[in-house]
Structure 1
Amino acid sequence: MHRRRRTALVLSAAIAAAAPLLSACGNDAHPGAAAVVGGHRITVAQLESRVNEVRRAQQAAVPDEAQYQQVLASTSGLTRDTLHNMVLDRVLHRAARDQGVTVSRREIQRMRTGLEQQAGGAKGLETTWLQKYGIAPARLDDNLRLQLEAQKLATRLGTDTTQPAFWKALSTASEELHVDLNPRYGTWDVQKSSRVDAKTPWVREVTASGTQQTA
């Protein structure tokens, strides 16, 4: 993955995407886990819940069913991108902690206030983040914290988020946390601190049925 793309994922989370239902064998070492990071499980249920938050927000923002189906059709990787960011959030938090970087509630609110002014209000900001980055309104502050941690970490390292020194810090954190993804969601590239699709022939994608897609 190009470093610019990975930077966008750090600072803006994932581009909103649809929800293919993955049918595959689970990770026998961690049944029910989408990933294990630092010994802590991100369960499949937690991942699906996060994806459903976005889907509900998208459907509320686009009440016309035909338009909503277009949103689903045009965004095909929400589950994987969401898991990527759930893992990356923990990796980045570890890298920031290792460098003594913290983010206060006041800093998050200050950043949010500035962005709301640019977006024409709180609703405008929520809509922008939902449409552009696939972030549900309830997770907006979490994403802003992620951005602030990335920015402050880069500053502490005397670099910026596009440079090797920044990504080296994330790589080190990934190694420390021993990131382990369920094979159905790919693998974690420690050097790039990024999720990578696994080339496993036993993984097949099928279209989720019903009005609520959860994976």
Structure 2
Amino acid sequence: MHRRRRTALVLSAAIVAAAPLLTACGSEAHPGAAAVVGGQRITVAQLESRVNEVRAAQRAATKDEAQYEQAIAKTGSLTRDTLHGMVLDRVLDRAAKNAGVTVTRNDTQQMRAALEQQAGGAKALETAWLQNYGVAPTRLDGSLRTEIEAQKLAATLGADMNTTEGKTTFWNAMSAASKELHVDLNPRYGAWDVQKSSRVDAKTPWLREVTAAATQQTT
């Protein structure tokens, strides 16, 4: 986990060097919204629902109250990390659309089957995704789809994520998509500013897959 996190930090630096991927907008123009991305609201209720899904899954996966409290302590920033992931997913969708990238249901099924085999079964994979990335089992397919989308985007752009140039190419595409969408984050959840936010380092599943090769380089 430490190596993966260190790789995320390297990517964070690459984003800052490449372009202002995310801008701090935050306003009260959209009451009830946690964020507005491309004119579409992510409501506070939607965000809280996602967080509650994870908490319910964590409780179901723990044996007692003490273990559950430990799980909560490990994911203390779950609400902000969840919102960060929800916004980034939309930015990625726009970047993928701009590049002509599509992901099929078969793509997701194939990745899931492969990961289940590696993890030792469907339940083991769901548990790993919940513990490591804060993804509820019901959201696993969506999370895998996003991972595939990021991989395909990098491949379409010819972005070798083992190199600084490749990372810059990838994040430039994300930056362009972010600017098009005019991300507006509710100040309650912080500022959408890559230079001030550590949430780029959050355990975001699609980021893990895109940086897998880079992680191996730090081993």
Which bracket does the TM-score occupy, shorter chain normalised?
0.7 to 0.9
Residue 126 of structure 1 is matched in structure 2 by 126
Normalising to structure 2: TM-score of the pair?
Answer: 0.76
Residue 4 of structure 1 is matched in structure 2 by 8
Number of residue-to-residue matches in the alignment: 177
Distance in 2 (CA, whole Å) between partners of 1:91 and 1:161 is 19
The one of 164, 178, 181 equivalent to 2:185 is: 181
Distance in 1 (CA, whole Å) between partners of 2:40 and 2:10 is 24
Residue 38 of structure 2 is matched in structure 1 by 38
Does structure 1 retain, via aligned residues, the 8 Å contact 2:75–2:134?
no
Which residues in structure 2 correspond to 1:1-215 (within 5 Å)? 4-5=8-9, 27-161=27-161, 163-189=167-193, 192=194, 196=197
Aligned with 1:76: secondary structure? Answer: coil
Distance in 2 (CA, whole Å) between partners of 1:91 and 1:195 is 19
Does structure 2 retain, via aligned residues, the 8 Å contact 1:84–1:195?
no
Give the letter aligned to residue 50 of structure 1: R
Distance in 1 (CA, whole Å) between partners of 2:127 and 2:10 is 23
Does structure 2 retain, via aligned residues, the 8 Å contact 1:150–1:161?
no
Distance in 2 (CA, whole Å) between partners of 1:3 and 1:90 is 23
Distance in 1 (CA, whole Å) between partners of 2:92 and 2:47 is 18
Q: CA deviation at 1:6?
A: 8.1
Cα deviation code 1:146-199 (max 9, x no counterpart): 11010000001101346111011001000000000000111113xx4x8837xx
Q: CA deviation at 1:74?
A: 2.5
Q: CA deviation at 1:119?
A: 0.6
The CA RMSD measured in Å over matched residues stands at: 2.2
Any unmatched runs of 5+ in structure 2? Answer: 13-25, 199-219
Q: CA deviation at 1:92?
A: 0.2
Identity of aligned residues (%): 66
Any unmatched runs of 5+ in structure 1? Answer: 9-25, 198-215
Q: CA deviation at 1:5?
A: 4.0
Which structure has more helix as a fraction of its residues? 2
Higher relative contact order (CA 8 A, sep 6+): 2
Which structure has more strand as a fraction of its residues? 1
